[in-house]
Structure 1
Amino acid sequence: MQTRSDKALADTTFFPFWLDRPDAPAASAPLVGATTADLVVVGGGFTGLWAAIQAKEADPSRDVVLIEADRIAHGASGRPGGIVSTSVMHGLGNAQRIFPKDLNALEALGHDNMAGFQDTIERHAIDADLEWTGEMTVAVSKDALPAVREEYDLHREHGHDVEMLDAAQTREQLNSPLFEGALWSRKASGIVHPARLAWGLRRAAIALGVRVHELTPMSSIDDQGMTLLIRTGNGEIRAPRVMLCTNAFAAGHRRIRTRVAMVRDRILTTEPLNAEQKAAIGWANRQGVYDTRTQLNYMRLTPDDRILFGGRLGYFAHSPRDPAEDLTPAPYGRLAEAFFQTFPQLEGIGFSHAWSGPIALTTRMAVHFQTYYGGKAVYAGGYSGFGVSASRFGARVGLAKLMGQDLPETRMEFAATEPNWIPPEPFRAIGAKITMAALDGADAKGGWRRPWLSMVGKLGFPLS
């Protein structure tokens, strides 16, 4: 018997909505032959693009080459929900968890980062459908209200413009029978079209003189003393400095993966809402939204008024680039069911697109840095899904470390230390499988799942 989720997924395109555009730029030419540079950036996602731009703006004479294995934005950066905020450490609560002594400084750095984010977009005339609509964290049960209240108090303590909403006020903003209250953060956060942002940053980098080569996967790095030799399929680059902006793909040194695990996050977009459907849900202020389910869901409106609805983590051993399973309806059924539980008034609507995106998960759930080849290469990554705006910060601090700049932030704990070790395969896959099963059933069934998730949290992965 066909379920409502099956019907909604019947005509779905299994490809990121953000990338499915006729105006997507053509790929730049791959690298062919040998060249040299002052700086090589490996990876053409947000971190790599921000690194290239900031490196050129700091020193226009610097020769910067950026290589991307696929096409710009076709890795993680063209696949997220596209919610931006001031936090550079995966949210204020997570920053308090991992670096309580540096919380005030990290807050200041986050606000400075968002100002720089906005300034770059304006200076380079990047049209990324950026809307400063704020963000909400919604409680999907009365039991979750104390946690949301605690988050509200923390935001107030640190000077954020926030409001605590009761159930009726929350449903006036976004009408769901599940919502029992919400924290609404009003300023310096909102929503963006991630692919258009990445393509705009690409255009800005090229205009500044960055040499961009897409379809150019790195095959190896050799330390040759004063320089590193980066080999690609049809070329090679010699450079004294290399920035490894490979995030979840963890390319550049085999040790990177000992601190980074790739998980997959699934996302659906509906067909555009008609006037009646828009009236049924409200959402006049178009905030980005996170909820408190154990398998967290997040949601936002697209520029053409589709609902993007994401969540439901998955794990695949050995981190394939695009798992075949995620190109089928199977892994999206539960996410679709969660959507209809959230918005029962939209039953019958279809999903136009479904896809998964790679997330670089660490025990900090936030960006970190690893140094290799005697300081000639620095890896920046591990945003754990919150990198759309924090990637600018990660690129800036990573570049400072790579160039030997002695800044206050490079001496802070987040920049000077690494997350905890993560077990290798097959133990990683076994642990991930149990954890995903626990996440799936924790809210409805409880039992062994809550203690398991508590243990996982104590190990450094607060997934619930």
Structure 2
Amino acid sequence: MTQVRNKALADVTMTPFWLDRPDAPEPRERLTRHLKADLLVVGGGFTGLWGAIQAKQRQPEIDVILIEKGSVANGASGRPGGVVSTSVMHGLSNAVRIFPKDIAALEKLGQENMHGFLKTLEEHAIDCHAEWGGELTVAVDDAHIEALHEEHELHLKYGHQAVFLDQSAVRAEINSPRYKAGVWSKHICGTVHPALLAFGLKRVALTLGVRIFENTELTGLEDLGDRMKAHAASGSVTAPKVLLATNAFAAGHRKIKNRVVAVRDRVLATEPLSAEQMAAIGWSHRQGVYDTRTQMNYMRLTKDNRIIFGGRLAYAFAGDPFPSIDRELDTYEPLAAAFFDTFPQLEGLRFSHAWSGPIDLSTRMAVHFQRYHDEKVVYAGGYSGFGVSASRFGARIALDILDGSKTPESRLDFATSLPNTIPPEPFRWLGAQITMYALDTADKSGGWRRPWLKMVSAMGFPLS
């Protein structure tokens, strides 16, 4: 099997499949002047784009500037699996874990968020290859089936169109020998092409009058009392409000990293499957899929029937976002092994793309809001890899906080509280290495690993 995996990775391109497109829009000009605006957005990923768009939709007359260090979607927004759902808190179970008193409100807000998401796609003709086959969580061990039953009951309790699938039913959906059971949530959830979504949102923002400057890195924020001055290498922007949509890069304030860890996620894309290969795996409803491995894997199909297969978190010292190990083939061999364990009938299939990069992990595993400079500056982040649709929600709440928290939802616990702080280096690195090793080996070896993971969960990270 090792030879099979090595052959499958032999010709892989080390770049995100989503961004490997000749039709990607040209970057906008870099900032070379000293400008004023009513709102500055820092970051050209999903949170930043949704923030700029919603600000203009609420108040078309305001002047909004967005600056991006690289090009739009070159960060986490260009790398995810692209599964979208009504959850704004990293899944229903996680929402119940962290905000049990607010869960009813969060469920309503999540539904409203997805309806707004869909409305934007429709009104602005954003073709992001959206497919609404639902979201499927699958058990890969008999011991996980009870937890899936609990997940199903939770979905039903809060009005979701969800069905429980026993072993025969889940394999009728997706033919994998690993799958023991599943919960299929069917209502307004599915998959999108994340880069095409980001490119479409960029077009919408420009149409609405947002001024976008790419290849413009924020070098510092200066508090001028009634406004902020954002400095870049060759220019500046002065504005009374600043939205920091900087994700795992945590730019804008040194304290952001106290509550956010830049972990790295690995992802593979296969070559397009043939008709025979598609018949061998089923998957006719084309759901977005998560499994219950301790080191979770997720997957989805693309428009041309590639399988995007991701998982296996890792951490580099000091949160280095681009360690050299991410460009080594051996890094992706365990993920390829998990793929062929899932689909042994696809032996001989090759991977076309492999990539990795930082995502913003917090103990909440969901978006939170950090306030700085007397709330003239708000950071929204910590989606922990589940931000493709939740980022629209996060941006909306951040804008309201900047506007004085005028809506009732911005005064709920999720918007006013913070996740736990995370130990600094070198303790952060040491703890991460032990935890990642335990995640990699817990399912096979057990032993001390499960007590360790339970301890980490007790600290706030729900990893076991």
Report the TM-score when normalising by structure 1: 0.99
The answer on 1:285 being equivalent to 2:281 is: no
User: Equivalent residue for 2:200?
Assistant: 200
Q: Which residue of 2 aligns with 1:78?
A: 78
Q: 2:262 touches 2:321 (CA, 8 Å); kept in 1? A: no
Classify the secondary structure of the residue corresponding to 1:375. Answer: coil
Aligned residue in 2 for 1:211: 211
SS at match of 2:127: coil
**1:323-342 → structure 2 map (5 Å cutoff):** 323-342=323-342
Q: Deviations over 1:250-308 (max 9, x none)?
A: 11100010011110010001110011111100000000000000000001001110011
1:169 corresponds in structure 2 to 169
How far is 1:2 from its partner?
5.8
Deviations 1:334-373 (A, max 9, x none): 0000000000000111100000132111111000001101
| Structure 2 residue 34 is matched with structure 1 residue 34 | yes
Aligned partner of 1:379 in structure 2 is: 379
SS of aligned partner of 2:129: coil
> Distance in 2 between the 1:168 and 1:380 partners?
42
Separation in 2 of the partners of 1:417 and 1:71? Answer: 32
CA contact (8 A) 1:272 1:305 kept: yes
Q: How does 1:227-242 map to 2 (within 5 A)?
A: 227-242=227-242
Partner Cα separation in structure 2 for residue 81 and residue 297 of structure 1: 10
SS at match of 2:335: helix
Separation (CA, whole Å) in 2 of partners of 1:325 and 1:24: 27
- What residue identity is the alignment partner of 1:24? A
Equivalent position of 1:266 in the other structure: 266
The answer as to whether partners of 1:37 and 1:64 remain within 8 angstroms in 2 is: yes
- Residue number in structure 2 paired with 1:62: 62
- Please say if residues 294 and 442 of structure 1, whose CA atoms lie closer than 8 Å, have aligned partners that are also in contact: yes
**3-state SS of the aligned residue for 2:23?**
coil
SS of structure 2 residue aligned to 1:460: coil
Q: 1:308 to 1:48 in 2, by over 3 A?
A: same
| Equivalence for 1:308 | 308
* 8 Å contact from structure 1 (residues 245, 379) kept in 2: yes
Q: TM-score, normalised by structure 2?
A: 0.99
- Residues 370 and 204 from structure 1, CA distance in 2 versus in 1: closer, same or farther, beyond 3 angstroms? same
- Give the match's secondary structure for 2:25: coil
Q: What is the CA-CA distance between 1:403 and the residue it aligns to?
A: 1.1
| Aligned twin of 1:276 | 276
Q: 2:446, 2:88 → 1: CA distance?
A: 32
How many residue pairs get matched?
464
Matching residue of 2:145? 145
Aligned to 1:400: 400
1-structure distance, mates of 2:340, 2:405: 51
**Unaligned regions of 5+ residues in structure 2, if any?**
none
Contact 1:368 1:381 in 2 (8 A): yes
Give the CA deviation at 1:321: 3.1
Give the letter aligned to residue 18 of structure 1.
W
Between the aligned partners of 1:349 and 1:131, the Cα distance in structure 2 is 24
Q: By how many angstroms is 1:37 displaced?
A: 0.6
Deviation digits for residues 130-175 of structure 1 (CA, Å, limit 9, x no counterpart): 1111010001111110011110000011110011111111111100
Distance 1:242 1:249 in 2: 16
| Whole-angstrom distance in 2 between the partners of 1:327 and 1:27 | 25
Contact 1:80 1:357 in 2 (8 A): no
Write the distance in 1 (CA, Å) between the matches of 2:321 and 2:439: 23
Amino acid at match of 1:299: M
| Partner secondary structure for residue 222 of structure 1 | strand
- The answer on 1:251 being equivalent to 2:276 is no
After TM superposition, give the deviation of residue 124 of structure 1 in Å.
1.2
The structural deviation recorded for 1:374 is 1.2
Tell me which stretches of 4 or more aligned residues in structure 1 moved more than 6 Å: none
User: d(CA) in 1 for partners of 2:321 and 2:420?
Assistant: 24
State the match for 1:320 in structure 2. Answer: 320
Check conservation: 1:171, 1:179, Cα contact below 8 A.
yes
Matched, 1:363 2:355: no
In the alignment, structure 1 residue 5 sits paired with structure 2 residue 5: yes
Tell me if the contact between 2:321 and 2:357 (Cα under 8 Å) persists in the aligned partners.
no
Please give the alpha-carbon distance, in whole angstroms, between the structure 2 residues aligned to 1:62 and 1:316: 41
Name the structure 1 match of 2:111.
Answer: 111
In the TM superposition, 1:290-301 aligns within 5 A as 290-301=290-301
Q: Which amino acid aligns with 1:178?
A: R
Q: Secondary structure at the match of 2:383?
A: coil
Cα distance in 2 for partners of 1:202, 1:321 equals: 24
Is contact 2:127–2:197 with CA below 8 Å preserved after alignment?
Answer: yes
Counting aligned pairs with the same residue, the percent is 60
**Counterpart secondary structure, 1:387:** coil
Distance 1:100 1:57 in 2: 32
Contact between 2:66 and 2:213, CA under 8 Å: does it hold in 1? yes
Q: Secondary structure at the match of 1:353?
A: strand
Separation in structure 2 between the aligned mates of residue 335 and residue 147 of structure 1, nearest angstrom: 24
Q: Distance in 2 between matches of 1:247 and 1:286?
A: 29
RMSD value over aligned CA atoms?
A: 0.9
Tell me how far apart the structure 2 counterparts of residues 149 and 223 of structure 1 sit (CA, whole Å). 52
